[in-house]
């Protein structure tokens, strides 16, 4: 079974631009979550979707948004990019929410903002 697929693998953007990252979950998984990873802050929760509904949101500004489609694929968008948005963005999927349904991560999209 294919794992979580994230595209693109690398992105370079300039300040003020916007970016859209894409995630295809493991087949059959209905829950998708996004995390930001930086050397300074570690892994931080962005948002979580289940059946096209945002279930939970982390402590990030409104410039960070996301959505989930009916086929469980998800996208996240960052508008008006800042230098501090440079990070590895990780998508994870699980069958559902709950015990015995751990998150499985993709290899991430490395975003560099210049």
Q: 103 vs 18, 78, 82, 84, 111, CA distance in Å? A: 27, 23, 28, 26, 22
Contacting residue, 39, 59, 62, 70, with other proteins by CB under 8 A: 39
Contacting residue, 78, 81, 90, 111, with other proteins by CB under 8 A: 90
Q: Is 13 in the site for other proteins (CB under 8 A)?
A: no
Distance CA(10)–CA(12), nearest Å, equals 7
Q: Across the strands, what pairs with 59? A: none
The one segment of 13-21, 63-71, 75-83, 86-94 that binds other proteins by CB under 8 A: 86-94
Q: Is 42 in the site for other proteins (CB under 8 A)?
A: yes
CB 83 within 8 A of CB 113: yes
CB neighbour list of residue 94: distance below 8 Å, 6 or more residues apart: 29, 31, 33, 101, 102, 103, 104
Q: Is 102 in the site for other proteins (CB under 8 A)?
A: yes
Q: Is 5 in the site for other proteins (CB under 8 A)?
A: no
Site residues (CB under 8 A) for other proteins? 4, 31, 33, 35, 37, 39, 42-45, 48, 55-56, 58, 88, 90, 92, 94, 97-108, 110
């Amino acid at each position: 079974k294919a794992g979580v697929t994230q595209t693109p693998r690398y992105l370079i953007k300039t300040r003020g631009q916007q970016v859209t990252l894409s995630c295809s979950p493991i087949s059959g998984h209905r829950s998708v979550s996004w995390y930001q990873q930086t050397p300074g802050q570690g892994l931080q929760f962005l948002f979580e979707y289940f059946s096209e509904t945002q279930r939970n949101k982390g402590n990030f500004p409104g410039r960070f948004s996301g959505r989930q489609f009916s086929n469980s694929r998800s996208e996240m968008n960052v508008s008006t990019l800042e230098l501090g948005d440079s990070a590895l963005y990780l998508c994870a999927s699980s069958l559902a929410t709950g015990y015995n349904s751990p998150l499985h991560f993709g290899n991430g999209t490395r975003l560099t903002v210049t």
